Amino acid sequence: MFSKACEYGIKAAIFIAVNSSENNRVSPKEISEEIDSPQAFTAKILQALVKNNVIKSVRGAYGGFEIDKDKIATIKLAQIVYAIDGDGIYNGCGLGLHTCNENHPCPVHDKFKVVREELRDMLENTTLDQLASDIKSGVSFLKI
């Protein structure tokens, strides 16, 4: 469904959100340990999230990654997926036609569209703070 990069990106963002809510800046090392991902690869994905203004990086000693506390509740899963995997999952044709087009639909268009839009709604209505709070309360998990 999502690329590995996107999976790592989502989990990393949640972990950063959890820590930022406690005024704690985190490093790629901590992140990759907590979400069980390759460190250098994860660092690259973090850079993409920084460029897309999903997270903030602070360079130099005592630096790390963080998210403005008051921004955590406004960041949607959709932004993360878009930053890393692009918009193919929303707009692309399920059977790989060049474009998904109502007027030139592939055989599964009508049925696929429903699923795709449910996925989009889900991603656009899920914020980082919702996901972070379940991690904090031990209801959900970032690895294993």
Residues engaged in binding DNA (CB under 7 A): 3-5, 8, 26-29, 37-41, 43-44, 46-47, 50-51, 57-65
Q: Which is nearer to a copy of itself, 30 or 124 (CB)?
A: 124
Q: How far is the CB of 50 from a copy of itself (least distance, A)?
A: 21
Binding mask 98-127 for a copy of itself (x = CB under 8 A): x-----xxxxxx-xx-xxx-xx--x---x-
Q: Which is nearer to a copy of itself, 63 or 86 (CB)?
A: 86
Residues comprising the chain, all counted: 144
- DSSP states of the chain as a string? ---HHHHHHHHHHHHHHHHHTTT--B-HHHHHHHHT--HHHHHHHHHHHHHTTSSEEE-STT-EEE--GGGGGG-BHHHHHHHHHTTHHHHS-TT--SS--TTS--TTHHHHHHHHHHHHHHHHT-BHHHHHHHHHTTSS-S--
Q: Which two tokens stand for residue 113?
A: 């569209």
Q: Which of residues 83-122 bind ligand FES (CB under 6 A)?
A: 93-95, 97, 100-101, 105-106, 109, 112
Q: How far is the CB of 59 from a copy of itself (least distance, A)?
A: 28
If binding means CB under 6 A, how many residues of this protein chain bind ligand FES? 10
Q: Which two tokens stand for residue 56?
A: 């903030």
Half-sphere exposure of 30 (CA within 13 A, CB side): 14
Residues near a copy of itself (CB under 8 A) = 1-2, 4, 7, 10-11, 14, 77, 89, 92, 94-98, 104-109, 111-112, 114-116, 118-119, 122, 126, 131-132, 134-135, 139-144
